[in-house]
Amino acid sequence: MGTNVATPYDNPGDISTDERTPVIVGVGQSSERLDDPDYRRRSPVELAADAARAALADTGADPAAVAAAVDTVAGTRQFENSMPGARAPLGRSDNFPRSVAGRVGADPRRAVLEVAGGQSPQHLVNEFAATIAAGGAEAVLLVGAEAISTIERFARQAGELDFSEHADGDLEDRGFGLRGLVSMHHAAHGLTDAPSQYALVDNARRARLKLTRDEYAARIGALFAPFTRVAAANPHAAAPVERSAEELVKPTASNRPIADPYTRYVVAREKVNQGAAVLLTSVAAARRLGIPPARWVYLAGHADLRERDLMDRADLAAGPASAMAARHALEQAGIDAGDLATIDLYSCFPAPVFTVADALGLEPDDPRGLTVTGGLPFFGGAGNNYSMHAIAETVERIRRQPGSYGFVGANGGIMSKYSAGVYTTTPTPWRPDHSATLQAEIDSWPAPGEARQADGWATVETYTVKHARDGRRTGIVIGRLEDDGRRFLARTDDRDAATIELLSTDEPIGRRVYVRSFGFGNRVTADQATMDSLFPASPAVLRERYEHLLVRRDGHLLEVTINRPEARNSLHPMANDELDHVFDAYFADDDLWVAILTGAGDKAFSAGNDLVYSASGKPMWVPKNGFAGLTSRRSMPKPVIAAVNGFAMGGGCEIALACHLVVADETARFALSEVKVGLVAGAGGVVRLPRAVPPKLAHEMILTGRRLTAAEALAHGLVNRVAPAGEALAGARELAAEILESSPTSVRTSLRVMEETRGIPDVVDAVRHHSAALDDLMVSEDAIEGLTAFAEKRKPRWRNR
């Protein structure tokens, strides 16, 4: 497609009036390195403000007048504000956009802090160009910066630097934007860092191309070697060093492996001090401010698309949404890749560059180059703001070549969010893009089924091996189960050197492996024998002693006491695992017919999850059978009674809800209090409570954390009996004794039939439901003994068979 070819979007209805056409009128960059002679220890706000001043001056008009005209300022997030709980060791502004605006003499009516992600600078250009075209703004300043090098240097020097500041005015904080990008399931398998996630994509691509490890490494080196030459000539580059293709990929002491197939030199360099800014106005505002038309740059094409989440992608070697966004932006501009004078492909890792280059037919040795900055590993990965620098460089270059076109592709997440822009000095009317239509197509693509808990033989679909600084290695695998083809995520066990070696040599993709699920996640081994040796089956027999529990056996009755009164009987992973083992043993022991669960002391049955332990940063997990080994257990064939003494809060309430029967003393309080600490009752509370009490009451308890007294709980059917203060266990024993007078076979059969018919809405259909358990009961010794004892007018001697 040439520059004079009409596109499907060339119709008058798509074109805004000339006066509202958005143009970029100013760009600016700032930077400093720790070893610079004039190093000034600037904060992110100061670096961004310097870049904004440069952008205002770049307009060729009076900077003060231009600053006064800015009605909107939008900022990208810093790394220290891109994740929940992220630290800002030197402090930070509480309103980054307005802090920057105030320093350059702007007083905008609107301030925006964009979501995290490398797509954000280009997305902001696309969004606010559309806002200007619609008359919603006239002058928009986009800014961003990182000072990670300075922050890391001074983080341990208390009081040396303080970047904290307050800025008055409202802020439209759009949040982190991490939906679908961060999950507890990924974290449980070590998939929290960007190198590991991108490595999964690159290794899948290598296997698809049928390349060896060395061949693919050579291609990565050939891809990035030209980037280093650009970075070496860029005064703003954090690592302005030209390197050969071999040097980039050869592991050395200074170029250590990060995540197979990556060495340090080919991953984004986050230790930077860099800022960039872009100023957009309407044509009318540019004229009014006296900005020369020679400074105007038009957004000829643009697109914003989101890829399916990682585990939902049909092909882990591809990024079709990124490719579609790039192609759509070019189509909208009425050009093809051959018409571009400059190109910048987001290069945090090789995979995003390969993906878009393949889609546009670009080779690594393209004489135009695939970067205008030097790329994230060499110029620097200025957090979410890298592409603001790419846009600034692109604008400067195409101004020097009037009539030319430049392309910027900005990538966020794990090739998850892609924003593309085509820039030109050729006057171009504003045209809305058709990203929404393309996004609907992407969202309709089928996703592979996923096994969150994976068990059995499987095939490796892709993989990586993470390398820690201390030499430890961890393998991460995405595979497909042989039984049903579902996709799963798993990691290796730290003791399993053989599987690590399998993943580190030859071709693991397509290899047969064995996977098994645990409460702490899925583990993968080379074969079942290795799995069995690493994780030998624990016999379902009660131990003599437990660290966090007291266990008492009294005939057919089992009493289990959570023995952590100092923590209000809250549960951490070790206590949960012990409870899981105890209930496995209870359900497997034919001589145990009823179990009681209670808490030590008189303050709390259980305060739920141990929040102190959770906040410690130590690994968190619950057994596959759920909280206390009960809340996710598929089968509870024998009665469990909760003896609630004191508070049953959060997870403690969920445990009680999972039990068949509840006896509470009159001091007991029941609550799902998770919303009070920013959590949710995810261990069954939000599911079971609306089925246990009137829905309106359940909604109130779940949404407000309202506490129910024991009397209220009894009135609403949440508990069976209320005992005097301190007598919950005694009351539970009385209830257990009544159950023990009945046939254990009949009790188990009754529980089974209730469970089988729970999901049958029609009562008659439920009554007519045939259960094999009833047939088994009628020929059981207990049935014969019960009828015989009744006829003989004596007490039955139950045999439990």
Res. 500: pLDDT tops 50:
yes
For residues 496, 499, 501, 504, the Cα torsion angle rounded to the nearest 10 degrees is -130
Res. 780: pLDDT tops 80:
no
Res. 651: pLDDT tops 80:
yes
- Pick from 480, 505, 534: which residue ends a domain? 534
Q: Tell me what pLDDT residue 660 has.
A: 96
Say how far apart CA 350 and CA 199 lie, in whole Å. Answer: 9
Say how far apart CA 751 and CA 773 lie, in whole Å. Answer: 10
Q: What is the 3-state secondary structure (H, E, C) of 336-382?
A: CHHHCCEEEECCCCHHHHHHHHHHHCCCCCCCCCCCCCCCCCCCCCC
Q: Which residues contact 617 (CB under 8 A, 6 or more apart)?
A: none
Task: Average the pLDDT over 755-778 and give the result.
Answer: 82
Strand order in the sheet with 172-173: 172-173, 110-113, 72-75, 139-147, 273-282, 22-31, 297-306, 417-424, 405-412, 342-345
Q: What is the pLDDT of residues 99-144, one digit of tens each?
A: 999 999 999 999 999 999 999 999 999 999 999 999 999 999 999 9
Same domain for 783 and 730, yes or no, is: no
**Residue 42, CA atoms < 13 Å, CB-side half-sphere:** 23
Same domain for 607 and 754, yes or no, is: no
In a domain, 9, yes or no: no
Same domain for 527 and 570, yes or no, is: no
Say how far apart CA 681 and CA 608 lie, in whole Å. Answer: 10
Task: Average the pLDDT over 751-760 and give the result.
Answer: 87
**Residue 430, CA atoms < 13 Å, CB-side half-sphere:** 24
Task: Average the pLDDT over 545-574 and give the result.
Answer: 96
- Facing residues of 24 across strands? 280, 297
Q: What is the pLDDT of residues 342-362, one digit of tens each?
A: 999 999 999 999 999 999 999
In a domain, 707, yes or no: yes
Q: What is the pLDDT of residues 7-18, one digit of tens each?
A: 333 333 343 448
Same domain for 437 and 469, yes or no, is: no
Among all chains, which residue has been given the structure tokens 């592979």?
A: 448
More confident residue, 295 or 177: 295
Res. 3: pLDDT tops 70:
no
Same domain for 734 and 782, yes or no, is: no
> For 62, left (φ over 0), alpha (ψ -120 to 50), or beta?
beta
Give percent of the chain above pLDDT 90: 83
Between the alpha carbon of residue 749 and those of residues 768, 783, 784, the distances in Å are 16, 11, 15
Same domain for 505 and 438, yes or no, is: no
Number of domains in the chain: 4
Res. 339: pLDDT tops 60:
yes
Which tokens sit at 163?
Answer: 């970047």
Res. 617: pLDDT tops 90:
no
Same domain for 347 and 466, yes or no, is: no
Query: What pLDDT band is residue 784 in, cutting at 50, 70 and 90?
Result: confident
Same domain for 604 and 752, yes or no, is: no
Q: What is the pLDDT of residues 142-197, one digit of tens each?
A: 999 999 999 999 998 877 899 999 999 999 999 988 887 778 899 899 998 999 99
In a domain, 361, yes or no: yes
In a domain, 260, yes or no: no
Q: What is the mean pLDDT of the chain?
A: 93
Q: What is the pLDDT of residues 364-373, one digit of tens each?
A: 999 999 999 9
Same domain for 427 and 481, yes or no, is: no
- Pick from 504, 534, 564: which residue ends a domain? 534
Most confident of 339-343, 599-603, 614-618: 339-343
> For 797, left (φ over 0), alpha (ψ -120 to 50), or beta?
beta
Give percent of the chain above pLDDT 70: 98
Catalytic residues: 654, 674
* Contact criterion met (CB below 8 Å) for 300 and 381: no
Task: Average the pLDDT over 480-499 and give the result.
Answer: 96
Between 25-29, 467-471, 516-520, 747-751, the lowest mean confidence (pLDDT) is in: 747-751
Domain CATH number, residue 665: 3.90.226.10
Q: Tell me what pLDDT residue 625 has.
A: 94
Q: For residue 557, give the nearest of 637, 628, 661, 641 by alpha carbon.
A: 641
Collapsing DSSP states into helix, strand and coil, what is residue 240? coil
Give the DSSP H or E segment for 670.
strand 669-671
Same domain for 771 and 707, yes or no, is: no
Res. 377: pLDDT tops 50:
yes
In a domain, 284, yes or no: yes
Query: What pLDDT band is residue 801 in, cutting at 50, 70 and 90?
Result: low
Same domain for 300 and 405, yes or no, is: yes
Res. 418: pLDDT tops 50:
yes
Instruction: Identify residue 481 by its one-letter amino acid code.
Output: L
Which tokens sit at 257?
Answer: 């492996």
CA 551 to chain centre: 39
Q: Tell me what pLDDT residue 9 has.
A: 33
Same domain for 395 and 507, yes or no, is: no
Domain limits at 788? 744-792
Domain CATH number, residue 420: 3.40.47.10
Which tokens sit at 256?
Answer: 């250590």
Domain CATH number, residue 477: 2.40.50.840
Say how far apart CA 48 and CA 144 lie, in whole Å. Answer: 6
Q: Tell me what pLDDT residue 645 has.
A: 94
In a domain, 247, yes or no: no
More confident residue, 16 or 725: 725
Among all chains, which residue has been given the structure tokens 């004079």?
A: 4
In a domain, 257, yes or no: no
In a domain, 508, yes or no: yes
Task: Average the pLDDT over 654-658 and give the result.
Answer: 97
Q: Tell me what pLDDT residue 16 has.
A: 41
Which tokens sit at 554?
Answer: 């009294």
Between the alpha carbon of residue 778 and those of residues 10, 748, 793, the distances in Å are 79, 13, 20
- Facing residues of 257 across strands? 263
Res. 6: pLDDT tops 50:
no
Q: What is the pLDDT of residues 244-273, one digit of tens each?
A: 999 999 999 999 999 999 999 999 999 999
